[in-house]
Structure 1
Amino acid sequence: MIAAISIAPSGPASDPTVTPDAPGSYTNAVAAMVKVIRASGLPNETSAMFTSIEGEWDEVMAVVKAACDEAGRFGNRVSLVLKADIRQDAAGNEMQGKVDRVERAIVASSESN
């Protein structure tokens, strides 16, 4: 499966040792969450709005939970947006495979015009 997640803490930090973000910013919180995700060893990719994680259901959900727990250090409330592509026939490396197929389609359509 591939899960695309966006996590945002709100409210006062529950951990006094974290460096809180300025109002309207999530830089420190996101950096801490992405470190947790990267430490999992699962394939992942961070963009401006989401971080995608690829793996088996249980391992991906464990990483999502760990990232939410990390977010909870930066606020006493956590919002999670999750979108998942769950495929039984995927052999892995679909995060890159999906992008590669779209890029090939773009090239093919450009060549036919």
Structure 2
Amino acid sequence: MSSAKELFATINEGLSDEAVRKPAIKKTNAIFSFDFKSGGKYYIDLKETGKAGEGAAPAGKKADITMTMDEKTFLDLASGKGNAQKLFMQGKIKIKGNMMKATALGDVLKTAQAPKAKI
């Protein structure tokens, strides 16, 4: 993926599959907000709707976890090139909110981006 916007569109598409969305919501039960240092804000609602989009959180909702980082760090993290724990310890990711829920995000990102089989 070349941009966070493209990646969040892919995640949203992946979460449109009920077989992906329901377990992700059950596992995390949280709204994640991503605040990029370049100014972009995105969210993944894994509490109710199972959707991803632009903004700090879905309308009328508040994020349970806010992660601040640069866009490249997020793209590396989502692609598996970056290690979340290492990036956090290096200060490249700042997390506000429930840290335990934040740890579940990696698996959800991988599952939501998995290519769908074409029949």
TM range (shorter): under 0.3
Highest relative contact order (Cα 8 Å, sep 6+), 1 or 2? 1
Q: Flag the structure with larger Rg.
A: 1
User: Could you state the TM-score of these two structures normalised by the residue count of structure 2?
Assistant: 0.26
User: Could you state the TM-score of these two structures normalised by the residue count of structure 1?
Assistant: 0.27
